[in-house]
Amino acid sequence: MIDDILIETVLKKKHWAFTIFYNEIVDHFFSYLKSNFYLTDFEINDIISHTFVKIWNKMDWFDQEKWNFVSWCWVILRNTTKDYFKKRKDFWFSDFEWTDEDNTKTTLEEKIPDNENILEDLNTDYQFENIQKAMKDFKSIDREILYLRFTEQKSLNEIVAITWLSLVNVRVKLHRILNKLKENLKNK
């Protein structure tokens, strides 16, 4: 939890406080984008950097009467992500090969780890893949609510502030999403 004194100092546009705030929240932003969207680390870092520039530039218009500062930052992240996807052009690739920084080509087989825990890693990946498949037909807002509630451990009121949905709507959606997820996992 980010304390109020830090937020007050950030709002006074103190660079050192903004750096501390950034360090407190950046991992949460990163994991949110990583788990909800099919983005590379480079793309995620690009979105996050744009988000923090917007936060810094818009702080003068932040209204403490209407918003919780952290929720306001989450809304800016969501909007920046939406803007990114509007501008993004999809591309196709023909094989699982890429060029490393030293201009050597690497194949997928070369990237597979060579350790004793490979079966355990594959089992974890398989379970995660099953959950992703079970959520495949979920609306993006439903996936987002699940992420905010269970990965970020946000309260219902924080989810309301981030998503702009009503508290009743968030509760009902969460209940329905969980039931649908249980049903989908049962049928896998």
What is the fold, at CATH topology level, of the domain defined by 1-89? Rna Polymerase Sigma Factor; Chain: A (1.10.1740)
For position 96, what pLDDT does the model report?
44
**Res. 107: pLDDT tops 90:** no
For position 95, what pLDDT does the model report?
39
Least confident of 130-134, 137-141, 149-153, 159-163: 130-134
Distance CA 64, CA 21 (A): 17
Instruction: Calculate helix-pair angle for 41-58, 69-87, nearest 10 degrees.
Output: 130
Domain boundaries, the chain: 1-89, 121-188
| 29-72 pLDDT per residue, tens | 998 898 887 788 899 999 999 999 999 999 998 888 888 899 89
For position 100, what pLDDT does the model report?
59
pTM given for the model: 0.56
For position 111, what pLDDT does the model report?
47
What 3 state SS string does 100-157 have?
A: CCCCCEEEHHHHCCCCCCHHHHHHHHHHHHHHHHHCCCCCHHHHHHHHHHHHCCCCHH
Contacts 24+ apart (CB under 8 A), 2-6: 2/70
CB within 8 Å of 112: residues ≥ 6 apart: 118
Domain formed by 121-188, architecture: Orthogonal Bundle (1.10)
